[in-house]
DNA sequence: GTGACAGATGATATCGGTCCCATTAAAGGA
DNA sequence: TCCTTTAATGGGACCGATATCATCTGTCAC
């Protein structure tokens, strides 16, 4: 036999190319099944289009090779990544986690995948994260209100993708908004305490001057103060103490500080159940009776508030439902090619009365 | 002028093609800057390779167009997605959230993005999620131990990607493992209570027969029971009650059930701080004094345990550090093309002594 | 028998980047 | 001066799917 290179053989050999991994591709499946790549693709995305006998051949090849389609390639071609971006201040907050949970659930049926980023309440980080997210070409973006840095807004407009702001109702929504008014939370809390007959009313929140800012929490405080002012009551017992995000410990130290500064305080609204629970614990340590000596209410209806003694009166927002609803809306929106008009949905809030408040 | 179509003009016009969106591509940038696509790509990924003057031209074009590179396309070409997959039982657990947090932090510098999936402790869901994740071609996979369904394991082996199991030390790790032994947690807890002189010792956990199974929690119980047995003590006060995942409320109801069934109980280990805190709250309601009447210890060192009265003795594992460490290991591993030998790292655990336990 | 039509499948271009190698210009060495 | 080396840039193939349109086969009505 000649030792000259044989063109014909060379042509049928796989070209070396860039291929390094031995992971099977759709081409391998198609060869093994003896069909075209397109048929394989159809079997996996819309099996009804393919004859059952062909389908079985393909599925067998898929199984034999352990083929897992590459969504990166699919996304590029179909221009649909199947990603929904979610930007949160933090994951270590049960309510935000609940939002993510609800969203995921709603998106699962339509086979969207959540792409989560969190900012630790840091605005610069927010912008960087947003750029990272956009580079993944999500089909929609969900974010917690508050973000209104100029650049971020501009990037969002340019992204040409549905934007949903959640967990707040911004005065100037970028596009859609689903949430509740944090300002109204504050006013509602103050109104509730006023209606119970209290006149020495205080509040616990984080200082807005810290490195990180909890914009939504500050909105609640603003509403709270406004309602007090409308009732012609002083706001000097509204304590902004320590840095965001708040925690049990924050509530404990802030409570002590407030009580020491204002010994005659009758009722306290904490910016979050976390602070409120911390306050109740500190009160126990100070031998102050809740609610006989001081009434306390919180916000967020965290599970722990139901379990402590006394159980915590709080303002409830159904964050999981909020996530679910957002997800459903997005699935509908993305299924139809029409661009719906911007919408703003208020999911409302509800006072949950428990034992930590006693009418004056 | 002729009204015949002019070929030359037509050739320079953009082809209609599939292009729908008007989002700028690298081609638009290159045209505007008067350079090749490759040069644009270099400016964005390795600016040192490009002459400053050229670089500036390109960056200006990028800014003018508001160009955001498409990582989907980039990933396909470079065969590097920049994704690390993370699979967790749930996000609504502070310790798992802390893992995600630590991981994110470690991955940020190397510009990897976490792809999070969670299973709600559901094995079937786990498998579906894993497939979804693999289709995104992550460069590594991090998962909580326990997952050993046949199919899932097979898929992982086939994925040809580093696998790290965390938050447990499986007896047969798939590849790498970073975590602690839940079994040892149980034994350590029992040993600690034995050393304090208790002989009537109980525990609170979820039933493993429920719809969802907390494999790690059950491991802790197994270790706890083994240590009791070694001390020739009965295990009949180890209560498996209700369904996973546990919660404050779970702890409260399980505590009451246990105390009613075993009134002479002296000390209790709860599978999680959540249960333990719930138990302390229920004890308060039952007018049982902690620790005078009953000692309680938990696991996980959740923030709330530090704040309640009495503060909770617990077993601490640094989950955030665990995430950080995992992330660092992955970054190193992916930077070098070598495949390191499988490693198992025990991050250990630590008893945190607080007021909820009093020696007998 | 034949044309129209629907159903099943295939061929090929394309998505938007990066890899690899070629080309050109500038710098340095004998 | 000429050759080699290095730096900067460009050209074109390619990553692995899907969109789109073409082809082929068989059925049915007239």
Whether residue B130 is predicted with pLDDT greater than 80 in this model: the reply is yes
**Strand C nucleotides where any atom sits below 7 Å of a protein CB:** 8-20
- Residue B189 and residue B310 share a domain: yes
Given an 8 Å threshold on Cβ–Cβ distance, is A137 in contact with B72? yes
Domain for residue B360, yes or no? no
Instruction: Classify burial at B259, counting beta carbons within 10 Å of its beta carbon; exposed 0-12, middle 13-18, buried 19 or more.
Output: buried
> What average pLDDT does range B242-270 have in this prediction?
97
Q: How far is CA B243 from the centre of its chain?
A: 22
Confidence bin at B9 (pLDDT 50/70/90):
very low
Q: How far is the CA of B313 from the C1' of D12 (A)?
A: 67
Domain for residue B14, yes or no? no
Q: How far is the CA of A47 from the C1' of C18 (A)?
A: 34
- Residue A223 and residue A172 share a domain: no
Whether residue B140 is predicted with pLDDT greater than 70 in this model: the reply is yes
CA-nearest residue of chain B to A101?
B91
Instruction: Find the nucleotide nearest A19 (Cα to C1′).
Output: D15
Helices (H), chain A: 7-12, 26-33, 37-45, 52-65, 71-78, 94-108, 123-135, 150-159, 182-195, 215-230, 248-261, 273-285, 303-307, 319-335
Asked if B79 contacts A21 with a C-beta cutoff of 8 angstroms, the reply is yes
Confidence bin at A19 (pLDDT 50/70/90):
low
Given an 8 Å threshold on Cβ–Cβ distance, is A68 in contact with B155? yes
Residues 6+ apart with CB under 8 A from A237: A200, A201, A202, A203, A258, A261, A262, A265
Whether residue A114 is predicted with pLDDT greater than 90 in this model: the reply is yes
Domain for residue A329, yes or no? yes
- Residue B305 and residue B203 share a domain: yes
Residues 6+ apart with CB under 8 A from B3: none
User: Is residue A339 within 8 angstroms of chain B, CB to CB?
Assistant: no
Domain for residue A6, yes or no? no
Name the A residues in 128-157 with CB < 8 Å from any B CB. Answer: 131-132, 134-137, 154-155
Instruction: Classify burial at B247, counting beta carbons within 10 Å of its beta carbon; exposed 0-12, middle 13-18, buried 19 or more.
Output: buried
- Give A66 to chain B, closest Cα distance, Å: 7
Q: Is the shortest CB-to-strand distance from A19 to strand D under 7 Å? A: yes
Residue A94 is nearest to which of B79, B92, B101, comparing CB atoms?
Answer: B92
Domain for residue A7, yes or no? no
**Range with the lowest mean pLDDT among B5-14, B150-159, B273-282?**
B5-14
Domain for residue A9, yes or no? no
Q: How far is the CA of B51 from the C1' of D1 (A)?
A: 30
Instruction: Find the nucleotide nearest B53 (Cα to C1′).
Output: D8
Q: Is the shortest CB-to-strand distance from A18 to strand D under 7 Å? A: yes
Which residue reads 């995600």 in tokens? Answer: B100
**Strand D nucleotides where any atom sits below 7 Å of a protein CB:** 8-20
Given an 8 Å threshold on Cβ–Cβ distance, is A66 in contact with B158? yes
User: Is residue A81 within 8 angstroms of chain B, CB to CB?
Assistant: yes
Work out the end-to-end distance of chain B between its first and last CA atoms, rounded to an integer number of angstroms.
107
Instruction: Find the nucleotide nearest A17 (Cα to C1′).
Output: D14
* Contact list, A152 vs chain B (CB under 8 Å): none
Residue B70 is nearest to which of A22, A118, A137, comparing CB atoms?
Answer: A137
According to the model, what pLDDT value does residue B200 have?
97
Helix (H, G, I), strand (E, B) or coil at B295: strand
- Residue A144 and residue A115 share a domain: yes
- Residue A250 and residue A130 share a domain: no
Q: How far is the CA of A165 from the C1' of D13 (A)?
A: 43
- Residue A299 and residue A240 share a domain: yes
- Residue A333 and residue A258 share a domain: no
Which of A227, A218, A193, A186 minimizes the C-alpha distance to A353? Answer: A193
Instruction: Classify burial at B335, counting beta carbons within 10 Å of its beta carbon; exposed 0-12, middle 13-18, buried 19 or more.
Output: exposed
User: Is residue A253 within 8 angstroms of chain B, CB to CB?
Assistant: no
pLDDT tens, residue by residue, A28-55: 999 999 999 999 999 999 999 999 999 9
Confidence bin at B126 (pLDDT 50/70/90):
confident
Regarding beta strands A350-352 and B113-118, do their DSSP bridges make them parallel or antiparallel, or are they unpaired?
unpaired
Q: What is the mean pLDDT of chain B?
A: 90
Residue B97 is nearest to which of A92, A158, A307, comparing CB atoms?
Answer: A92
Domain for residue B13, yes or no? no
Asked if B215 contacts B145 with a C-beta cutoff of 8 angstroms, the reply is yes
> What average pLDDT does range B171-183 have in this prediction?
92
According to the model, what pLDDT value does residue B12 have?
35
Asked if B40 contacts B30 with a C-beta cutoff of 8 angstroms, the reply is yes
Whether residue A1 is predicted with pLDDT greater than 50 in this model: the reply is no
pLDDT tens, residue by residue, B59-95: 999 999 999 999 999 999 999 999 999 999 888 899 9
- Residue B161 and residue B119 share a domain: yes
Q: Which two tokens stand for residue A211?
A: 């490195």
According to the model, what pLDDT value does residue B34 have?
96
**Range with the lowest mean pLDDT among A198-207, B119-128, B327-336?**
B119-128
According to the model, what pLDDT value does residue B16 have?
43
According to the model, what pLDDT value does residue A339 have?
81
Name the A residues in 53-72 with CB < 8 Å from any B CB. Answer: 66, 68-72
pLDDT tens, residue by residue, B192-205: 999 999 999 999 99
**Which residues partner with B163 through β-bridges?**
B141
Q: Is the shortest CB-to-strand distance from A36 to strand D under 7 Å? A: no
Asked if A144 contacts A88 with a C-beta cutoff of 8 angstroms, the reply is yes
CATH code of A276's domain: 3.40.50.2300
Give the integer Cα–Cα distance in Å for B119 and B105: 23
CATH code of B28's domain: 1.10.260.40
Whether residue A346 is predicted with pLDDT greater than 70 in this model: the reply is yes
- Residue A243 and residue A310 share a domain: yes
Whether residue B113 is predicted with pLDDT greater than 50 in this model: the reply is yes
Whether residue A70 is predicted with pLDDT greater than 60 in this model: the reply is yes
According to the model, what pLDDT value does residue B62 have?
96
pLDDT tens, residue by residue, B208-229: 988 888 899 999 999 999 999 9
Instruction: Classify burial at B109, counting beta carbons within 10 Å of its beta carbon; exposed 0-12, middle 13-18, buried 19 or more.
Output: exposed
According to the model, what pLDDT value does residue B146 have?
63
Domain for residue B221, yes or no? yes
User: Is residue A75 within 8 angstroms of chain B, CB to CB?
Assistant: yes
Contacts of residues B11-15 at CB distance under 8 Å and 24 or more positions apart, as own/partner, are none
Q: Domain limits at A161?
A: 78-180+320-349
According to the model, what pLDDT value does residue B210 have?
82
Whether residue A15 is predicted with pLDDT greater than 70 in this model: the reply is no
* Contact list, A21 vs chain B (CB under 8 Å): 79, 160
Confidence bin at A207 (pLDDT 50/70/90):
very high
Q: How many domains does chain B have?
A: 3
- Residue A108 and residue A50 share a domain: no
- Residue B328 and residue B203 share a domain: no
- Residue B205 and residue B188 share a domain: yes
**Range with the lowest mean pLDDT among A117-121, A158-162, B14-18?**
B14-18
Regarding beta strands A267-270 and A238-243, do their DSSP bridges make them parallel or antiparallel, or are they unpaired?
unpaired
Whether residue A147 is predicted with pLDDT greater than 70 in this model: the reply is no
Buried b (16+ CB within 10 A) or exposed e, A330-352: bbebbeeeeeeeeeebebebebb
pLDDT tens, residue by residue, A80-102: 999 999 999 888 899 999 999 99
* Helix B150-159, helix B123-135: angle, nearest 10: 20
């Amino acid at each position: 036999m000649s030792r000259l290179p044989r063109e014909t053989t060379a042509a049928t050999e796989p070209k070396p190319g860039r291929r390094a991994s031995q992971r099977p591709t759709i081409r391998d499946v198609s060869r093994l099944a003896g069909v075209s790549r397109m048929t394989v693709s159809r079997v996996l995305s819309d099996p009804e289009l393919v004859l059952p006998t062909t389908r079985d051949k393909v599925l067998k090849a898929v199984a034999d090779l352990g083929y897992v389609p590459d969504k990166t390639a699919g996304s590029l071609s179909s221009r649909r990544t199947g990603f929904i971006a979610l930007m949160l201040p933090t994951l270590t907050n049960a309510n935000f986690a609940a939002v993510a949970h609800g969203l995921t659930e709603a998106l699962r049926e339509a086979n969207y995948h959540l792409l989560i980023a969190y900012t630790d309440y840091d605005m610069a980080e927010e912008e960087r994260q947003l750029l990272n997210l956009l580079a993944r070409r999500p089909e929609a973006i969900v974010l917690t209100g508050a973000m209104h840095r100029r650049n971020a807004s501009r990037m969002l407009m340019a992204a040409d993708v549905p934007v949903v702001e959640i967990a707040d109702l911004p005065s100037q929504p970028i596009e859609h908004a689903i949430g509740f008014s944090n300002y109204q939370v504050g006013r509602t809390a103050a109104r509730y305490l006023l209606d119970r007959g209290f006149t020495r009313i205080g509040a616990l929140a984080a200082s807005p001057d810290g490195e990180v800012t909890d914009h939504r929490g500050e909105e609640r405080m603003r509403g709270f103060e406004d309602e007090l002012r409308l009732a012609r009551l002083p706001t000097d017992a509204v304590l902004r103490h320590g840095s965001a995000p708040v925690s049990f410990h924050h509530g404990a130290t802030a409570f002590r500080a407030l009580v020491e500064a204002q010994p005659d305080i009758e009722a306290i609204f904490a910016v979050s159940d976390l602070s409120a629970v911390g306050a109740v614990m500190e009160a126990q340590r100070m031998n102050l009776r809740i609610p006989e000596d001081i009434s306390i209410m919180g916000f967020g209806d965290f599970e722990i508030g139901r379990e402590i003694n006394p159980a915590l009166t709080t303002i409830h927002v159904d964050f999981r439902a909020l996530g679910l609803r957002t997800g459903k809306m997005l699935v509908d929106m993305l299924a139809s090619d029409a661009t719906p008009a911007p919408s703003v949905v208020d999911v409302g809030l509800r006072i949950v009365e428990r034992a930590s408040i006693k009418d004056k």
